[in-house]
């Protein structure tokens, strides 16, 4: 019995990305009950899947177009759900949530075509933004669980992440506008996972 080539979606890194979607519900439910040790640990596991899937894609040589598409969706949906949950329990200012969501919607509307066509890739600024945003969200939950006195300092870091989010979003929008019409869909360098 011969086996054909593996389907693009059938990779270990994509399985890890899907696990990020599955973990999102339990993370948000635990946070709604009030940040405790289990919420902190599960949030750390959730956030670490973003690094793990990319590392596995490189180490196992399992980069895929499916992974390039679902990884940023998992990031955006996950962060939106978690920051909404944190706003609901009054750990995160509603203004920060609104800015994050408006920036994500603008990117979705103005960058998606270039990203889906492979004409725009993840930027270093985008990676830094995601790291700072995920780190500040994790530290906010950890502070609420174990060191409430640190919450104001972590909220300041969160605002830095929000500013980076807006700058990164504007950068993606500008880059997408420069390449629109520059190359037919599907051409150009592949975006890194």
The pLDDT tens digits of the residues spanning 17-29 come to 999 999 999 999 9
At 80, which CATH number?
1.20.120.1760
pLDDT > 50? residue 141 = yes
pLDDT band for 66, please (50, 70, 90 cuts). confident
Q: Which domain, by its residues, includes 169?
A: 12-179
Inside any domain, residue 172? yes
pLDDT > 60? residue 190 = no
On whether the CB atoms of residues 41 and 58 are closer than 8 A, the answer is no
Mean local confidence (pLDDT), 147-156: 95
pLDDT > 60? residue 189 = no
Mean local confidence (pLDDT), 86-113: 93
Secondary structure class of 3 (helix, strand, coil): coil
Calpha distance 121→68 (Å, rounded)? 9
pLDDT > 60? residue 193 = no
DSSP assignment letter at 181 = T
Inside any domain, residue 102? yes
Lowest-confidence range among 1-10, 13-22, 114-123? 1-10
Inside any domain, residue 154? yes
pLDDT > 60? residue 155 = yes
pLDDT > 50? residue 97 = yes
Inside any domain, residue 114? yes
Sign, CA torsion 87/54/73/116:
positive
The rounded radius of gyration (Å) of the Cα atoms in the chain is 18
Structure tokens, 103: 């920036």
pLDDT at 122: 80
pLDDT band for 160, please (50, 70, 90 cuts). very high
pTM attached to this predicted model? 0.82
Mean local confidence (pLDDT), 114-120: 79
Inside any domain, residue 29? yes
CA dihedral 32, 37, 39, 41 (to 10 degrees): 170
Nearest to 127 by CA among 62, 188, 51, 74: 51
Into how many domains does the chain fold? 1
Mean local confidence (pLDDT), 108-137: 87
pLDDT at 69: 82
Inside any domain, residue 171? yes
pLDDT at 142: 96
Calpha distance 68→11 (Å, rounded)? 12
Inside any domain, residue 152? yes
């Amino acid at each position: 019995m011969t086996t054909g080539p593996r389907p693009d979606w059938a990779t270990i890194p994509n399985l890890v990305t899907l696990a990020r979607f599955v973990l999102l519900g339990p993370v948000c439910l635990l946070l709604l009950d009030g940040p405790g040790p289990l919420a902190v640990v599960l949030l750390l596991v959730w956030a670490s899947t973003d690094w793990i899937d990319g590392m596995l894609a490189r180490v196992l040589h399992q980069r895929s177009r499916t992974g390039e598409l679902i990884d940023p969706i998992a990031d955006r949906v996950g962060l939106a759900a978690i920051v909404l949950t944190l706003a609901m329990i009054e750990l995160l200012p509603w203004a920060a949530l609104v800015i994050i969501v408006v920036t994500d919607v603008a990117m979705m509307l103005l960058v998606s075509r270039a990203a889906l066509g492979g004409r725009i890739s993840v930027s270093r600024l985008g990676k830094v933004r995601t790291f700072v945003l995920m780190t500040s969200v994790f530290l906010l939950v950890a502070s609420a669980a174990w060191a409430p006195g640190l919450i104001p300092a972590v909220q300041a870091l969160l605002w830095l992440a929000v500013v980076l989010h807006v700058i990164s979003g504007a950068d993606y929008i500008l880059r997408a506008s420069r390449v629109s019409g520059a190359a037919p869909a599907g051409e150009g360098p592949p975006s890194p996972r």
